[in-house]
Amino acid sequence: MLRKQKLRGIIKEKGGLVMEFGQKVAQLRKKKRFTQKQLAERIDVTPSTISKYEHGTHRPPVFILAKLAEELGTTTDFLLEDVAGLREKNSVNAFPLIGNPELEKWYLELPYTYSEEQLLMMKRIMEAIDHKK
């Protein structure tokens, strides 16, 4: 069983970091350059409701969750699923970076840290490296 320890909205698990629902909402909102008020208006809730989602004190009902995912350019599955769900409990092959927590953390934070343009540039760099092998 995975050891979990809550630290300022982050669930730390053996082998890496997992983002909670509220953190995902906040980071995706910021990536879209929406204020809490702007996002709230787009999904017909109050700004304080967005704040409650981001701080993890409330979860949206399904019909709001769908609107939220659409406005943030993601899926409801992504918002609700822990990134740890990408791994099988006993399989190192399910997630190849498990042995290196620093790389795993970096990899899992890519979509939250970099713009689409920067991610495409990284992809081209990796393709160039693979091509030279």
Q: What is the domain extent for residue 118? A: 4-132
6 pLDDT more than 60: no
CATH number of 123's domain: 1.10.260.40
25 pLDDT more than 90: yes
The better pLDDT of the pair 82, 111 is held by 111
Angle made by CA atoms 71, 46, 11, in degrees to the nearest 5: 65
Quick one: how many helices (H) and strands (E) in the chain?
Answer: 7, 3
Whether this model's pTM surpasses 0.85: no
How far apart, in whole angstroms, are the C-alpha atoms of residue 97 and residue 84? 12
The better pLDDT of the pair 114, 23 is held by 23
What is the strand order of the sheet 4-7 is part of? Answer: 4-7, 10-13, 16-19
* Angle, helix 62-72 to helix 36-43, in steps of 10 degrees: 120
With a CB cutoff of 8 Å and minimum separation 6, the contacts of 15 are 98, 101, 104
Number of domains in the chain: 1
Residue type, 41: E
How far apart, in whole angstroms, are the C-alpha atoms of residue 65 and residue 50? 11
pLDDT band at 96 (very low <50, low <70, confident <90, very high): low
Dihedral angle sign, alpha carbons of residues 93, 103, 6, 14: positive
Q: What percent of the chain has pLDDT over 90?
A: 29
